[in-house]
Amino acid sequence: MTVRTRFAPSPTGSLHIGGARTAIFNWLFAHHAGGSFVLRIEDTDQTRSTQESIDEILDAMEWLGLNWDEGPLRQSERLPIYREHAEKLLESGSAYKCYVTPEELQEKRKEAQERGGVFRYNRKWAEENAGPDKPYAIRLLTPDEGTIEVDDALRGRVSFDASEVDDFVILKMDGFPTYNFAVVIDDATMNITHIIRGDDHLINTPRQKLIYDALSYDVPQMAHVSMILGSDQKRLSKRHGATSVTEYRAEGYLPEAVVNYLTRLGWSYGNQEIFTMDELVEKFTLKNVGKSAAVFNPEKLEWLNSWYLRNKPPEEIAGLLVPLLKEKGIHAEVDEKLAKIVKELSQRAKTLNDIADSLNYFYSDEIIYDEKADEKFLTHEILPVLQDITRRLTSLEDFTMDSMKEEFEKVMEERELKLGKIAQPVRVALTGGTVSPGIFEVMDILGRDKVLERLEEASSHISAK
């Protein structure tokens, strides 16, 4: 039997970090086994599902590299299938029509709570409101006693008391299936073999098991992965910061970093931290997935992102950067210059945005001196040194890093100055600030004309002080 996994988000928002990890696990598991990965949209909640959410989720999946082999299937387009199965259960006596309205149930639930008791649906109410044209929901007839056992790949056998499960609705009055019903029908008819999903669904499995049994379908292998928590150990939510894949993309994270981080959150492979997608596919097994909840740690994601930035070919990063720069009004293209810039700046950045934010001086015609830097380094004391350097560079035949270095060394020797003394003022003159790649690299990228122009500008700026 070939492995088939699925990811089944409900389109009520963007792709959440937790959902993304579930998707990644399912994707990896399927690919590891040479099986297929199915995408299904659970849009049976008519009031909360939106097309925008669907688009955003699909977009985020593609960005992460999680391609699907089938789908996206939509539950809202499969209504007849659910109805058909519900009818079948009605015929076999495993389910029955219930005429109690949601409002009445709400009422009874409230009463029970006020009395301090536990609300439990009573089968006898089912027929009470019956009438020829009355709308009805369909409920599953569930056992009153015994235990319902579920085998989980991560947690072993989990058993529930049948008395905890009352006759629940499988088909709503509006003709839509409830979550538990739709999930089972879909997973069964799509021949899903392994269900990897969040811990929050563990409690649903006894209900689902009952449906599988009533329909004589095999129960897939379940694996309930723990949730991702925020720094306060509470379920990760907006107040913990960015929680959607889309936000991380906008902040300049690389998909490989996000995938790597999310996979390592709850899964491990010895002491290894960095994995390529191929390695992940090769090494991912459920056996190495942990059982306890994991706190989302933005610093570690940031570190991983910076690692990928440092190790990815500069040309590729340059390609990702161009659109970002365009938004900032910098019209760069993927050329030798940008590749050189990226090579230097990616060593010092945490995100793509960091790079985009710190290369202005390579493209602008005018540089603005940082006030403090100006005050500290562009001094009358250094003026002769700057002029000396300008003179030497002007007469330099080939403007290479080596030859520039030679000239700097001569100045250092003659004036008995350390490189630091000279490099900082030059850096301020060329970039406007005190932080940049190595000074020779900067000069090399800027090119002869700009370097000389800016050095002269700095000199006259000092003289005018």
Catalytically active residues, by annotation: 238
- Which single residue is written with the structure tokens 């088939």? 4
Rounded to a whole number of angstroms, the minimum distance from the CB of residue 404 to RNA is 10
Instruction: For residues 215 and 243, give the distance between their C-alpha atoms in angstroms, rounded to a whole number.
Output: 38
Rounded to a whole number of angstroms, the minimum distance from the CB of residue 209 to RNA is 13
Burial (Cβ within 10 Å: 0-12, 13-18, ≥19) of residue 1? exposed
Instruction: For residues 464 and 374, give the distance between their C-alpha atoms in angstroms, rounded to a whole number.
Output: 13
Rounded to a whole number of angstroms, the minimum distance from the CB of residue 122 to RNA is 12
Q: Which is nearer to RNA, 102 or 447 (CB)?
A: 102
- Letter string b/e over residues 162-196, b meaning 16 or more CB atoms within 10 A of that residue's CB: beebbbbbbbbeeebbbbbbbbbbbbbebebbbbb
| R_g of the chain computed on alpha carbons | 32
Q: Which is nearer to RNA, 92 or 272 (CB)?
A: 272
Q: Which is nearer to RNA, 35 or 199 (CB)?
A: 199
Rounded to a whole number of angstroms, the minimum distance from the CB of residue 326 to RNA is 25
Q: Taking the C-alpha atoms of 236, 284, 68 and 209 in order, what is their torsion angle to the nearest 10 degrees?
A: -70
- Letter string b/e over residues 131-159, b meaning 16 or more CB atoms within 10 A of that residue's CB: eeeeebbbbbbbeeeeebebebbbeeebe
- Which single residue is written with the structure tokens 């990226």? 342
Rounded to a whole number of angstroms, the minimum distance from the CB of residue 172 to RNA is 3
Q: Which is nearer to RNA, 300 or 326 (CB)?
A: 300
Rounded to a whole number of angstroms, the minimum distance from the CB of residue 360 to RNA is 15
Instruction: For residues 429 and 436, give the distance between their C-alpha atoms in angstroms, rounded to a whole number.
Output: 12
Q: Which is nearer to RNA, 326 or 410 (CB)?
A: 410
Q: Which is nearer to RNA, 194 or 427 (CB)?
A: 427
11 cis-preceded (ω within 30 degrees of 0): no
Rounded to a whole number of angstroms, the minimum distance from the CB of residue 142 to RNA is 13
The structure tokens listed for 413 are 């020797």
Q: Which is nearer to RNA, 30 or 423 (CB)?
A: 423
Give the Å distances, CA to CA, from 422 to 245, 384, 385, 398, 410. 45, 11, 8, 21, 12
Q: Which is nearer to RNA, 200 or 213 (CB)?
A: 200
Pairing of strands 70-74, 95-98: unpaired
Q: Which is nearer to RNA, 35 or 312 (CB)?
A: 312
The structure tokens listed for 94 are 């495993």
The alpha carbon of residue 456 and the mean position of all alpha carbons in its chain are separated, in whole angstroms, by 48
| CA nearest neighbour of 209 among 148, 146, 153 | 148
Listed in order, strand segments (DSSP E) in 179-334 are 194-198, 221-225, 228-229, 294-295
Rounded to a whole number of angstroms, the minimum distance from the CB of residue 425 to RNA is 10
Rounded to a whole number of angstroms, the minimum distance from the CB of residue 165 to RNA is 9
- Are 7 and 69 within 8 A, CB to CB? no
Instruction: For residues 138 and 167, give the distance between their C-alpha atoms in angstroms, rounded to a whole number.
Output: 10
Reported as type and span, the H/E element at residue 81 is helix 79-92
Give pairs for 457-464: CB < 8 Å, separation 24+: 457/367, 457/429, 458/378, 458/386, 458/425, 458/428, 458/429, 459/383, 459/386, 459/387, 459/390, 461/369, 461/374, 461/378, 462/378, 462/379, 462/380, 462/382, 462/383, 462/386, 463/383
